[in-house]
Amino acid sequence: MGIKEVLGLSYDDLPYYLKSCFLYFGMYPEDYEVNTNRVIRQWIAEGFVKEESGKTLEEVAEGYLTEFIHRSLVQVSSIRTDGKAKGCRVHDLVREMILEKNEDLNFFKHISEDGHSSLSGRIHRLSITTISDDFVEHIGSSHVRSLLVIPDKESKKNIEYKIPKNFKLLRVLDCNSDSLMSIPENFGNFVLLKYLSLGSGEILKILKSIGMLRNLETLKIRSFSQLIELPKEISKLRKLRHLISKKLSLIQLEDGIGEITSLQTLHSVDLNTDGAAKIIKGLGKLKQMRDLRLVNVRREDGIILSSSINEMQHLEILVVQSRNNGAHYEVIDLDLISLPTKLRKLKLMGILQKLPEWIPKLQNLVELFLGHSRLPEDSLKSLNCLQHLLSLTFQMHSYEGLFWHFEDGWFQKLKELNAIYLQELRFVIIDKGALPSLKKLNFGILWNLENIPIGIQHLEKLEVLRIFFVSDEFVQNISTEDWNSMQHVPLVDISDLEVLSFRNTELQSLPKSIGKLQNLETLDLRQTAVNEMPKEISKFRYMKSLQTLSEVKIDEDGIELITELGKLKQLRKLSLSDIREEHGIALCSSKNEMQ
């Protein structure tokens, strides 16, 4: 039985309510990474997801996606910190099967640069990946339920896509394009619409009539930094579950935001306004909130914000960024009494001065990001109480201690540790038994850091070590012992390292991690007894620019190495030893290439 037959059986074995969700992946371009939240919300808008007692529709849909992954019908392309799928795609063979099924089922139609299938007859779903707009006049169907516009990213041509006025059965409208979308004047009559994702320019044209879209569940406004001021009519969208943009102003709604009681996702709300207290009070009515992100939070609003967050017992993601007056961030004054026990991700950007007592009590927290916090040395010990923490980031003056000391037993599950722009940090000490699960360690812009972390050899599961923007003294202090302690790490990237010397040292072999130093220009091995050069050294970015190669001992099987030397076109000085007669032809050939 061939692969196609196996895939066909896997599809045929799906329950009927999963088949539509699976076929929906065919709406996306070939090899396209699909954001899982995006496609899940589109399934819900289409009515594909069945209600289950005790679960949100989003949770049920996540189960559908997991089923596809387990059946190898969908591939995970990127994951979140907690291990859940962030992005996914379908294999070429799976996509071919979807297109074959679609021929029989007429599930969707494609319009692409390569042409399109017949647009006559009843069209239920339409996917557009072309930058041409001449397709509109060919669409005669008024039964379109989903319209996705995903043009080629490499195309620099912008056009204006026109939505036909008769698309009143639309449930999903997703324009993921920098081109414009021409919205019909009667857009308020598209009352079945449940998923709407447009650029800020298009949204601003229809904001006044958006209150008529009473069935809307997802509203995503694409903008880079523009503040989108939402009208009070938004409060009429009582079924709205996800309201997403880079920066939203709710000043016209005031506490009216609290009337949208189905809201689960809200980001990012700008609270740098005199009416912020009323807005924050309204937020406290959103009992179903899962993902809340706030920017420009003022210190004086801390008490009322704490009160509102205490009401959100389903909260899973919380991002709070305090107001920046140009010189520094303000204090984040949060005192959470009724803890959101389901909180998985917490990001605080602002001065804390000391670690809030409620943070170490968040036992389901898997990701913690602290920026501009100015925390003292003892804060690290308190964070060790977070037994399920997987990712920890200190960034931008968030830690004012001189050293980090990770003691035996600390952070048993932590997989990723990031220290970025901590001006005071000088030493990092890792005891044996600390950080046993750590896979990624990123240190950057640490100008006072003096050495490679002491005890890094204890991190047996470490896969990636990145160190960037450190002092010249740090680079010069890297010793042979340091390199030996990092021998077990598959990827070591010290981006500032251009010169590396092992002169007059006793080495049996060079660390394989050296091949990962992409900016290395000089490797000095004089008076060093190195028996074997790792093959990874050939991966140096500047290897083809090599000008000096000295004291290279050629063994009896060295013809392949001598042949490779011919690729070094810039070589000025070459010194070889133990050359044998059988090497002569290969050596002459290589020398002829070194002009």
Q: What is the pLDDT of residues 216-248, one digit of tens each?
A: 999 998 877 788 888 888 999 999 999 999 999
Query: Residue 12: in which H helix or E strand, if any?
Result: helix 3-12
Residue 438: CB atoms within 10 A of its CB come to 25
344-482: CATH number: 3.80.10.10
Higher pLDDT, 203 or 448: 448
Domain boundaries, the chain: 3-96, 344-482
Q: How confident is the model at residue 444 (pLDDT cuts 50, 70, 90)?
A: confident
**What is the average pLDDT value for the chain, to the nearest integer?**
82
- Tell me the per-residue pLDDT of 129-151, one tens digit each, with 9 for 90 and over: 876 655 555 565 668 889 888 87
Predicted pLDDT of residue 211: 84
Q: How confident is the model at residue 524 (pLDDT cuts 50, 70, 90)?
A: low
Choose the weakest-confidence range: 120-124, 361-365, 402-406, 537-541.
537-541
pLDDT exceeds 90 at position 349? yes
- Mean pLDDT confidence for 105-114: 79
Q: How confident is the model at residue 542 (pLDDT cuts 50, 70, 90)?
A: very low
Query: Residue 65: in which H helix or E strand, if any?
Result: helix 57-70
Residue among 493, 420, 430 at smallest CA distance from 457: 430
Q: Which residues contact 16 (CB under 8 A, 6 or more apart)?
A: none
Please measure the distance between the N-terminal and C-terminal CA atoms of the chain and give it in whole angstroms: 58
Orientation angle between helical segments 92-105 and 16-23, nearest 10 degrees: 110
Q: Is 126 helix (H, G, I), strand (E, B) or coil?
A: strand
Higher pLDDT, 505 or 577: 577
User: Distance between CA atoms of 486 and 492, rounded to whole angstroms?
Assistant: 8
Predicted pLDDT of residue 52: 93
- Tell me the per-residue pLDDT of 472-509, one tens digit each, with 9 for 90 and over: 788 888 888 888 899 899 988 887 555 555 444 444 45
3-96: CATH number: 1.10.10.10
Q: What are the distances in angstroms from CA 169 to CA 13, 106, 142, 199?
A: 31, 17, 7, 21
- Mean pLDDT confidence for 199-221: 83
Higher pLDDT, 343 or 495: 343
Q: How confident is the model at residue 274 (pLDDT cuts 50, 70, 90)?
A: confident
Contact 304, 310 (CB under 8 A): no
